[in-house]
Chains A and B, each alone.
Chain A
């Protein structure tokens, strides 16, 4: 019979789970090998999110938390790109949720111990669904770098967290986008938990000079690739093989 299956993950191009340079992983990263099994309905079918969950300002972080339309501090940026699968097919209706620090490198979160100011007009939270061509766009401000306890004090490069749902639970991806030219990227243990250079570089948003020069905003392009799904002919094999 015909079945759908997710392309197997290539773990060489993902971060190592057990990576002591990132101290929080020491007591949290599982030690045993993951168990592989053929994709079933739960991994392939949904969830699919409806357009009506998205509000008008959800992808405008400069306005969605501001009081009286006062701009948050910092310079405005556009972050845009496409979501496609590994076969280069654009994914329509992918849900992208982002979160980030403010211009001073502070999160609006009780557990953020960085002694930097919060910005009363900025929450750092946004979301959107991709268009029919897989396109997405956020208007936000440049997040600041910030210190955090790791091996002593270390600094996170400027980044935006991305959470993405495609069409399948098995395509679920959580990642971070960095900014071209940031000298902190190469020092970051979370970035360096990815061994493969090309994979590492794929997380860097690229400055789009042509677009930046026509608007009063800097623009960064960050394309996202989710796992491909194959149609396969399923042979009736013995259980477990």
Chain B
């Protein structure tokens, strides 16, 4: 086992606050002349529409209101299970009117992890907003995949497993709502 001990504490988190878009997605709020494109505008370049899936949903607070000031960052491997550069990174915010976020991406493949185990296809999420003193992490799995042997899902109770599984609503289209509080509170991860 590794014996070297860390020397420094990680810098503490602070909330991203309500104005996170200025720094991370300026073009999305019409600050157009600084960056040509927002980072993470599309997760994979040069993909055709028919190669993509959609994951959509809302982020609900404890009053069942859907947040419109949240930023979700997504990170995943490609369809072959490979991680490469910043391919597979995206940033999304809910639509002002519908309060739904929509991620268009390739369906990730499964991969064999450092642990030698096969990890079912998943997209990792990092959620930042006003009122969240730390970024929240969770994962999206897909209901039409083989999930039984996934190393993370297999340590969760069946109720908890369900909160991480996107429902297929039509071909290539999935629903994944996130609940910050309440009976349906999503499982958040200490990654």
Contact = CB atoms under 8 A, between A and B. Distances in A.
Interface string B6-28: 11111111111111111110100
Interface stretch (A44-52, A69-77, A206-214): A44-52
Given A17-B133, A45-B83, A232-B1, A239 B154 contact: yes
Given A30-B181, A47-B75, A48-B85, A190 B14 contact: yes
B191 interface: yes
B185 A19 contact: no
B162 interface: no
B190 to A, nearest CB: 4
A239 B131 CA distance: 35
Contact of B22 (A6, A108, A202, A234): A108
A222 to B, nearest CB: 9
A240 B154 contact: yes
Given A175-B14, A234-B115, A190 B133 contact: yes
Contact of B8 (A88, A125, A236, A239): A88
B190 A9 contact: yes
A163 B36 CA distance: 19
Given A26-B62, A27-B62, A163 B23 contact: yes
A200 B9 CA distance: 12
Question: What interface size band does chain B fall in?
Answer: 35 or more
B11 A163 contact: no
Contacts of A128: none
A174 B19 contact: no
Contacts of B66: none
Given A110-B29, A202-B12, A232-B1, A98 B23 contact: yes
A64 interface: yes
A3 B139 CA distance: 21
Q: Is the interface of B mostly helix, strand, loop or mixed?
A: loop
A218 interface: no
A28 B191 contact: no
Interface stretch (B48-56, B122-130, B166-174): B122-130
B152 A1 contact: no
A199 B26 CA distance: 30
Contacts of A43: 124, 191
B61 A28 contact: yes
B22 A239 contact: no
B128 to A, nearest CB: 6
Contacts of A2: 114
B10 to A, nearest CB: 5
B63 A27 contact: yes
A46 B132 contact: no
A239 B155 CA distance: 8
B133 A193 contact: yes
Given A32-B188, A43-B191, A88-B7, A176 B181 contact: no
B12 A200 contact: yes
Nearest to A109: B19
Contacts of A28: 61-62, 67, 129-132, 180-181
B175 interface: no
A117 interface: no
Contact of B39 (A49, A85, A123): A49
Contact of B124 (A24, A58, A161, A169): A169
Given A97-B39, A174-B128, 10 more contacts: A14-B12, A25-B133, A28-B61, A28-B181, A46-B85, A58-B34, A97-B24, A125-B34, A169-B75, A225-B9
The 4 tightest CB contacts between A and B, nearest first, are A99-B23, A24-B131, A3-B114, A28-B131
29 contacts: A1-B116, A7-B10, A13-B9, A14-B134, A27-B65, A28-B131, A29-B180, A32-B185, A32-B188, A34-B188, A37-B189, A38-B151, A40-B114, A41-B77, A41-B113, A41-B119, A46-B86, A55-B35, A88-B7, A95-B39, A98-B23, A125-B34, A169-B126, A175-B11, A190-B15, A225-B10, A226-B10, A234-B116, A239-B151
